[in-house]
Structure 1
Amino acid sequence: MSRIGLSKSSLAKQNRDLQTYERYLPALDLKRKQIMAERAKEQIAEQQTQREIAALHERVRETLPMLANREIELDGLIRVERIRLGEENLLGTRLPVLEGLDLVRGDYGYLSKPHWVDTLVDILAEMLTLEARLALHQRRTDLLEEAVRKVTQRVNLFDKVLIPKARANIKRIRVHLSDAERAAIVRSKLAKGKRAKGGVA
């Protein structure tokens, strides 16, 4: 641990540091609260997407019970060719944004497949989009969680370490300077007293 100087210049530096910490702490705390609010929004969006996926599963069960027939070949009906991602900067945290999903429908003969395969392909496209959105929400939530952790560490550093340490240093320097000033006054009075006695003698 570095020793602090017990001087007026050191006191001025500690006062400046304390003012900087106290000015920066509320901004950091506000940033933490804003990121936490965004994380909560992202978690709500994730839950909504999960509900939409569950509803789509239910719709498939109700409208396409014929999927239970394993004799019909359904592989390669649709696939994801490319996921287009962008990026947004949210309070210093870079978050992915889904810009689009390029889906490729497979070629299948309309006469060789049952009529409901077109409906199935549309549902599969919707499911792939929902799953991509869900994965994105989960990734964004993870990144926001990490950002909250880092900002909370900084808030705690300022609030529990730097500010109390600067205050303790200021108090210590003031006590030292006050003691030194009193000692100088006492020495001055003693020297004056000695001079006065020397003058009388």
Structure 2
Amino acid sequence: MAIKFQYNKTALQGLDKQLKMREKALPVIKNKETALRIEVKRAKAKVKDLDEQLLHKMDAYSISPGIWNEFNSNLISIADIKTSTKKIAGVKTPVLEKVDFHIEDYSLFENPKWYAEGICILKKLGEIVLEREFYNRKMELLNYARRKTTQKVNLYEKVQIPGYNDAIRKIKRFLEDEENLSKSSQKIVKNRQQKQEAES
């Protein structure tokens, strides 16, 4: 990205201001990138942990799969999901607060005794699956923000800051050369005037 500028003091001041602003912002952006990277790692670890929990519970409950064939899965459904948002390094992420389940009325006498336990098991599994989805979404949002922040760090570090430094150096050289030429021409004019005065 070539930085457009003019060879004058106003442009020099403007570029210097832009450079200082970016140099000041760069550490903040780098810290944000580091924080996002850590949070992405945490969310990824939590998703993995929830996957393992789900697998472990599924294995534990699959000992007697025949029983589940008798279970009426329409007895339990999700009634409401309470959520909130939490800002992490400036990124809004979803947080699962509570899951409310709706349990249909059923007869304790006409159904097997383990129905109540089956409903508890399905509640636990449902909560794990929902929590996993929330952490997965959180991870996606944070990872997207991290990639954008990394791009900004690279833009500042590798393109804009070196570009502004280069432009400032060119303007300073130009202004110095212009000043030197001006002084030289003044000397030449002065020498001519002195020579003319001496001759007359």
Provide TM-score, normalisation by structure 2. 0.93
C-alpha separation in 1, matches of 2:126 and 2:170: 65
Q: Which amino acid aligns with 1:109?
A: S
RMSD: 1.5
Of the three residues 63, 82, 86, the one matched with 1:88 is 86
Give the corresponding residue for 1:60.
61
Give the corresponding residue for 2:155.
157
Alignment of 1:115-134 (within 5 A): 115-134=113-132
Q: CA deviation at 1:73?
A: 4.9
Q: CA deviation at 1:2?
A: 7.0
What SS does the aligned partner of 1:81 have?
A: strand
C-alpha separation in 1, matches of 2:175 and 2:147: 40
C-alpha separation in 1, matches of 2:148 and 2:74: 44
Q: 1:118–1:66: structure 2 CA closer, same or farther, 3 Å change rule?
A: farther
What SS does the aligned partner of 1:95 have?
A: strand
Task: Give the fraction of aligned pairs with identical amino acids, expressed as a percent.
Answer: 24
Structure 1: 5+ residue runs without aligned partners? none
Of the three residues 135, 138, 161, the one matched with 1:137 is 135
Q: CA deviation at 1:13?
A: 2.2
Provide TM-score, normalisation by structure 1. 0.92
Q: Which amino acid aligns with 1:192?
A: K
Structure 2: 5+ residue runs without aligned partners? none
Per-residue deviation, residues 141-193 of structure 1 (Å, max 9, x unmatched):
01001110111121122112221111011111011011101101110111112
Q: Which amino acid aligns with 2:14?
A: K
Q: How many residues align?
A: 198
Q: Which amino acid aligns with 2:151?
A: Q
C-alpha separation in 2, matches of 1:167 and 1:34: 29
C-alpha separation in 1, matches of 2:81 and 2:153: 37
